[in-house]
A and B are shown apart, each in its own frame.
Chain A
């Protein structure tokens, strides 16, 4: 049986997910949010784009390898706009990102 303390366990709240979808969050951005939350929450949720790209390579993005001819730069540019536009991430003063979804009254 799946335990809450299992490090592989993912939880998703239905109300939160509904609210996210109603406020216009894309499912692609939501997946990135869940991945970032799952892997970086133990160190205050701050991560750089390089770390995220490494993770995505482990999650099946084959073109994000470290050899020559990779597509890391293009992916980073795409991610940077996607993360900020989704509203699920904030930018830290040093250029890194923080996963934080906050309910706005607007």
Chain B
């Protein structure tokens, strides 16, 4: 997605540190799935530095943090079984998962995804407001009232497939 971040010159260009934060903000808001490690690799900063910049930009109300969740297909509709599945994951693998999500009239097991950031609209404006579907594997985002976004994946049809594709690092 082609986005432009706008800001006041006397704020951003005052120091190199401010400019680095600004650049990190541009990269964070550019894609829904821009993880900290990817941006760290691009900018040659540490992941800790990127997360600090993201937190600073969030406090300054430049970016809005979105906590992404993906739901798992192939897990039973029963809520109790999903809770057992969650407890198994925590006990055996140490993976923390969100509560069961009620979506399309049934219960789903869900996993945490990397957080993404959006530009706050009252302070800054997007360059192109038209949303183009560039990603391969999501169907539709479902936004909640609090900063959560739910992503339904087309190809990740089961938990084993998810693990083989993405691994434990992304959780």
Binding site for B on A (CB under 8 A): 1-2, 4, 8-15, 17-18, 21-22, 27-28, 30-31, 34-35, 38, 59-60
Contact = CB atoms under 8 A, between A and B. Distances in A.
A59 B42 contact: no
Nearest to A21: B42
Nearest to B41: A21
21 contacts: A1-B125, A2-B8, A2-B123, A2-B124, A8-B8, A10-B6, A10-B9, A10-B12, A11-B6, A11-B127, A12-B4, A12-B5, A12-B23, A13-B4, A14-B27, A14-B29, A17-B23, A22-B42, A30-B23, A31-B16, A60-B15
A47 B80 CA distance: 69
B7 A14 contact: no
A2 B42 CA distance: 28
Nearest to B4: A11
Contacts, number: 78
A78 B128 CA distance: 38
Highest count of chain B CB atoms <10 Å: which of A13, A22, A38: A13
B138 interface: no
Contacts of B3: 13-14
Interface of B: 1-10, 12-16, 19-20, 22-23, 26-27, 29-30, 42-43, 122-125, 127
Contacts of B7: 2, 9-10
A34 B127 contact: no
B80 to A, nearest CB: 45
A18 B19 contact: no
Contact of A38 (B9, B29, B43, B125): B9
B29 A9 contact: no
A27 B53 CA distance: 15
Contacts of A30: 19, 23
A31 B19 contact: yes
A17 B16 contact: no
Contacts of B14: 59-60
